[in-house]
Chains A and B, each alone.
Chain A
Amino acid sequence: MATASGPLATPLPVPAAAPRPVRQALSRDDLVMRAGLGLLVLWLALSVVLPLWALLEKAFSGPAGEFVGLANFAAYLATPALSTSLGNSLLIAAASTVICVGLAFGYAWALTRTCLPAKALFKAIAAIPILAPSLLPAIALVYLFGNQGFARWALFGHSIYGPIGIVIGEVFWTFPHALIIVTTALATADARLYEAAVALKASRSRIFWTVTLPGARYGLISATFVVFTLVITDFGVPKVIGGSFNVLAVDVYKQVVGQQNFQMGAVVGLVLLIPALFSFLVDRLVQRRQAALLSARAVPLVPAPDRLVDRLALFFCSIVAFAILVVLGTAIFASLATFWPYDLRPSLKNYDFDNMDGGGWESYRNSLEMAALTALFGTAIIFGGAWLVEKTRRFEGVRGLVQLLALLPLAIPGLVMGLGYIFFFVEPSNPFHFLYGSMAILVICTIAHFYSVAHLTAVTALKQLDPEFESVSASLKVPLWRTFFKVTVPVCLPAILGIALYLFVNAMTTVSAVVFLYSPHTQLASIAVLNMDDAGDIAPAAAMAVMIFLTSAVVRGLYGLVTRGLLARTQAWRRR
């Protein structure tokens, strides 16, 4: 029977059995993965949903926890400061967004559409603000444009304390975020459109308005909303340089930390949630459109040299890069001056954090610990979670729920997240109350705060794997965890390290969520910056901000080295 001589006749159509639905039995892998997903749902419920719920609850209840309906909102609306703060916030956010997205578009355009020299350098410089807390530009601005600032003349007598300072600081801080989005949008251009336009003898400016801009429109919309949300919910910059110019984000802080008025804090927090949610929805919508553009593209555009345009691009990018370097340089210089502005000899006096407000060097060590733990556990949870979502068979309901919960943090500003955390964990009746004031709560909150972007990165990486790896493993009777560790993790290592870096840097620089959650023995460096600035120790504040920047930069550099080394060593298979 080993040859073609087998029985070849058409099989008799045996009367078919009555149809009965088939339910495949679950293998141990299936059970383990479902259990894993269940745990993930619990985790996300605990670290995202319940705190948010606690915030909502707080906004509708009185000081004793009784339900008061909209009374808190009514009280808030009756406060005259509200309209001022709201107006101020909108003004600042609008101005910062226009300037930031405009600059980012120019910069991204130069990076993607011209033969700008030293592109790698310009890219690296543009990424600097991400490595520093938002407080760093604000502090640097005090040194640049404050009453003793060496570039004070540039403000023509206006004060840096107020809207001008806030806008400059916010633009600096949000620039890389906008740049990444717009660059991605511009990078998906289809060269054929340009060839067609050139063939039709369209002028350069006509091409710009009819091809370039429409092609990048989704990126621009997305960047606009992202920056707007970042600015309206940030309180680091206005706190340091806002002077008497009140904004919503600072109001929350004032209500909660300054006056311990949790209900009112929750109300303002909810107000802040509105633009964030709105921006989240628009972003989701736009992302889908952008993806459609992307899948349709065929020929990547290679910019052709053009002397005039390339020079203009170089000029523009140089100015922006110079501004970024000046801000960073000022912070470093000020932190090293013995006594600004009277004694500019270099000294490390301002790095003697142990004798200042803010928790001293211990806060720096705490930050390192927090960032390392966040990177470690966050990467494990987020990548493992994304893998479970992608690879669990069937179980659609729970997988969909996890997807939703994983994206939810994208719509929650850090400030609101932090508030939710205190409201949720401070209750002595909460079984997780013991976490309150611990390092663990900072790590959990930070992981939750930055979950979405890391999750999306992981999903993208996983989607690039052959979907049949798991099928092959099952057919070879290999347990799935083995394939996870032997194949999935090694192949996704660059993405995994990328996630770890993202979490580490954000954990080092974040202020907004953790400012409500730290305790004396879990002081963090970024919060020390805030507190030292508050106490007037602005040079040490600059010094600590510089320490945060340096740490992030070093870790970023290490990441570069390690990924290169890893790729060379363990990923020899990538080379042909």
Chain B
Amino acid sequence: MSSTRRRFTGLAVGALALATTAAAARAATELTVYTALEADQLKAYQAAFEKANPDVKIRWVRDSTGIVTAKLLAEKANPQADVVMGLAATSLMLLDKEGLLLPYAPKGLEKVKPTMRDPADPPKWVGMDVWSSALCFNTVEAGKRGLEAPTSWADLTDPAYKGQITMPNPASSGTGFLMVSAWLQMMGEEKGWAYMDALHQNVAAYTHSGSKPCRQAGAGEYTIGLSFEYRANKTKKDGAPIEVILPKEGLGWDMEAIGIVKTTKKLEAAKKLADWAVSEEANRLYAQNFAIVALPGIASRLEHVPGDIEAMLIENDFAWAAANRERILAEWSKRYDGKSEPRS
């Protein structure tokens, strides 16, 4: 009996100790950050930020661009997020339109390229890096099927590629949306849709995530995956027999950006994160994943991506894209939803 009691006491003391440690850890401000950044990038950003700001801890809520956007819009009456970081600028513009973002000029804003921030002053959002579309082309499977590597968007409508292409669903994937937006801007609405109609004939599946097409191309599940340059680079580095192709007509792109949610109760911590996000340290980290970042002079080259991405980016009218996002997605769903993977 008494030994049981002693064991209980031990347990209780242990539990108390645990609770105290947990409480100590909680003493730091916990910042809820909604993001669409890739999971493999989050860790490095978080570690660097928390090292510089030990009194703030980040709690990520991560999902794909479409879902994070929808979630933020759905919660607009009662926002849960303190900061939105690493979400497409087009999405942040939508949030801004709903009046969800707080104008704030982070320390060091003056160094940021003028094209990579909200033109308003102070800005509601500031860009972090540029991500752009890229093709992943599986050379082994292409060899088996005798397929030539495509060099342009136009090539992708070649009937030879029928059933060999996957692309992200623009409703859920930011990568998917920036492609569609780019085609419509480059070709004009009418030709743009005609192009997508033709492409649709060759597409085997529209995936939920922007990474999956490249992963699938890497695994030979399909030969060509429409994806983005970071994932293409990483997949090739992981050992996939792919070639990364930048279609010659130009690349759709979007910015990953950061903004503070107006209703945050942790403004100090939120500002710290925004300040850190435009710092040189942060930009160097972005540069490990992306060729083009917000601060000039830090641009890097991705090991497995040939060519100069920055030069190939199209003229992108973000305001137009943001304003027309809903209409474009509705039209897209009407035309192509049949081949969509679940969760669009």
Contacts and interface: CB of A to CB of B under 8 A. Distances in A.
Given A257-B67, A260-B74, A262-B74, A238 B211 contact: no
Given A148-B221, A355-B40, A244 B211 contact: no
A35 B62 CA distance: 43
A244 B343 contact: no
A253 interface: yes
Contact of A341 (B63, B75, B171, B219): B219
Interface string A246-266: 100010011001111110000
Interface string A302-344: 0000000000000000000000000000000000001111110
Contacts of A260: 67, 70-71, 73-75
A357 interface: yes
Interface in B318-344: 337-344
Interface in B40-81: 40, 43, 59-64, 66-67, 70-71, 73-75, 78
B136 to A, nearest CB: 10
Contacts of A254: 342-344
Contact of A244 (B212, B216, B340): B340
A257 B221 contact: no
Nearest to B34: A520
Nearest to B222: A147
Do most interface residues of chain B lie in helix, strand or loop, or is the interface mixed? mixed
Interface in A132-188: 142, 146-148, 161
A244 B339 contact: yes
Contacts of A146: 221
Contacts of A235: 342
B342 A358 contact: no
Interface in A372-397: none
A536 B209 contact: yes
Contact of B342 (A148, A242, A262, A341): A242
B343 A538 contact: no
A150 B240 CA distance: 19
Report the contact-size class of chain A (Cβ under 8 Å from the partner): 35 or more
A534 interface: yes
Contacts of B344: 254, 258
A354 B74 CA distance: 30
B172 interface: yes
B83 to A, nearest CB: 14
Contact of B220 (A81, A147, A359, A536): A147
Contacts of A428: 78
B220 A342 contact: yes
B214 A536 contact: yes
Given A260-B73, A339-B240, A342-B140, A520 B205 contact: no
Given A147-B222, A260-B74, A357-B38, A342 B239 contact: yes
Nearest to A149: B221
Given A260-B74, A428-B78, A243 B240 contact: no
A521 B220 CA distance: 34
A262 to B, nearest CB: 7
Nearest to B39: A357
B124 interface: no
B84 to A, nearest CB: 14
B106 interface: no
Q: Which 5 pairs from chain A and chain B are nearest by CB?
A: A536-B215, A536-B212, A260-B74, A357-B39, A260-B70
21 contacts: A147-B222, A148-B220, A239-B342, A239-B343, A242-B342, A244-B205, A244-B340, A258-B70, A260-B67, A260-B71, A260-B73, A260-B74, A262-B74, A339-B238, A342-B239, A354-B43, A534-B209, A534-B343, A535-B39, A535-B211, A536-B212
Given A258-B171, A339-B240, 6 more contacts: A146-B221, A342-B220, A343-B239, A357-B211, A534-B208, A535-B39
Interface of B: 38-40, 43, 59-64, 66-67, 70-71, 73-75, 78, 140, 171-172, 205-209, 211-216, 218-222, 238-241, 337-344
Interface of A: 81, 142, 146-148, 161, 235, 238-239, 242-244, 246, 250, 253-254, 257-262, 338-343, 354-360, 428, 519-521, 534-539
